[in-house]
Amino acid sequence: MLKVDGHTHTHYCPHGSGDHVEEMIIRAIELGFEEYHVTEHAPLPKKFLERLVVDAPVDTFAMDENDLDDYINELISLKNKYRDKIDLKIGFEIDFLEDFQDYTQTLLNEYGKWCDTGIISVHFLKGLNGWRSVDYSSEDTKTGLVSYFGGQEQFQLEYFRVVEESVVADLGSYKPNRIGHLTLCNKFKKSLGIERTIDLGKILHLIFKKNYTMDLNVGGLFLEDCGETYPPPDIIKEAKKLGIPLIYGSDAHAVKAVGRGYEKIKLL
Ligand SMILES: [Zn+2]
Ligand SMILES: [Zn+2]
């Protein structure tokens, strides 16, 4: 089986470590990866950022629109520079925002032709007083989303309702075909009192019917409050049984995180 890291970030990410993407690529080569997907957070619409309520500068959640051309150009040159050593795939981690699908489609129409990979993820929901982040902090998620919806189960129902929308949404011919960290709502599961993930049979069937793949994201495995992959092993099993391809993703925002947990997920 090809050794692939399918989900990584770069120095274009304002909430990352600042480590340069080239150092991360070099690390991936050292670790023996044969394919490396660079999937930076695509820019977010200004109207959305104006309504994002969070205890952090709202421009730290994704790359800047003004950096798009540099991002693509730099990656094309790195792809060529390292082409004998690793197969570099260029793309974005796209946020699915129900109310801003025109913005996303326009961005994909303009930049999708330079991409050979991509992920579609849900990091934000409409909650208390506006848009709220699902994965910024447990306190923030608790007040802005869990209490707002009336409990952890209702929070999950809303999260997966939007994920389902992201699967079926028409975002044009460059829409990514991989669903990012399916259970990101579990990031603070211990603090939020989430004991089990609600039944995801319907979403998994939709993903399968669309011929999409899934991000097997190890981000949560390294967090005390979570301690599991997105999605967790029981859902991985269910997805595999259906025949949905899962692609390992380190979600690295730093050199030291490239390839983390790769050996562990091989056992799942
Ligand atoms: Zn990130
Ligand atoms: Zn993400």
pLDDT tens per residue, range 126-176:
999 999 999 999 999 999 999 999 999 999 999 999 999 999 999 999 999
Task: List CB-based neighbours of ion ligand 2 within 5 Å.
Answer: 121
User: Residue 173 C-alpha to ligand 1 middle, in angstroms?
Assistant: 25
Please name which of 128, 232, 118 lies closest in space to residue 175, comparing C-alpha atoms. Answer: 118
User: Residue 41 C-alpha to ligand 2 middle, in angstroms?
Assistant: 7
User: Residue 134 C-alpha to ligand 2 middle, in angstroms?
Assistant: 10
User: Residue 221 C-alpha to ligand 2 middle, in angstroms?
Assistant: 14
Residue 268 has pLDDT above 90, yes or no: no
Q: Which ligand ends up closest to the CA of 9?
A: 1
User: Residue 238 C-alpha to ligand 1 middle, in angstroms?
Assistant: 27
Q: Which ligand ends up closest to the CA of 62?
A: 1
Residue type, position 199, single letter: D
In this predicted model, what pLDDT tens digit does every residue of 218-266 receive, in sequence order?
999 999 999 999 999 999 999 999 999 999 999 999 999 999 999 998 8
DSSP 66-81: GGHHHHHHHHHHHHHH
Residue 267 has pLDDT above 80, yes or no: no
User: Residue 13 C-alpha to ligand 1 middle, in angstroms?
Assistant: 7
In this predicted model, what pLDDT tens digit does every residue of 97-131 receive, in sequence order?
999 999 999 999 999 999 999 999 999 999 999 99
Domain spans, the chain: 4-265
CA 204 to each of CA 10, 158, 234, 236, 240: distance values in angstroms, whole numbers, following the listed order: 30, 16, 12, 10, 10
Are 242 and 205 a contacting pair, CB within 8 Å? yes
User: Residue 34 C-alpha to ligand 1 middle, in angstroms?
Assistant: 23
Strands (E), 122-201: 124-127, 130-133, 178-179
Distance CA 268, CA 264 (A): 7
CATH superfamily label, 4-265: Metal-dependent hydrolases (3.20.20.140)
In this predicted model, what pLDDT tens digit does every residue of 45-98 receive, in sequence order?
999 999 999 999 999 999 999 999 999 999 999 999 999 999 999 999 999 999
State both tokens at 12.
């274009």
User: Residue 147 C-alpha to ligand 2 middle, in angstroms?
Assistant: 23
Tell how many helices (H) and how many strands (E) occur in the chain.
Answer: 11, 9
Are 259 and 210 a contacting pair, CB within 8 Å? no
Q: What share of the chain is helix, strand, coil (3-state, %, to 5)?
A: 45, 20, 40
pTM (predicted TM-score): 0.97
Percent of the chain with pLDDT over 90: 98
In this predicted model, what pLDDT tens digit does every residue of 198-219 receive, in sequence order?
999 999 999 999 999 999 999 9
Measured torsion, CA atoms of residues 14, 19, 22, 23, in degrees rounded to the nearest 10: -160
Q: Which ligand ends up closest to the CA of 93?
A: 2
Distance CA 88, CA 112 (A): 16
User: Residue 34 C-alpha to ligand 2 middle, in angstroms?
Assistant: 22
User: Residue 16 C-alpha to ligand 1 middle, in angstroms?
Assistant: 6
Average pLDDT, integer, range 16-37: 97
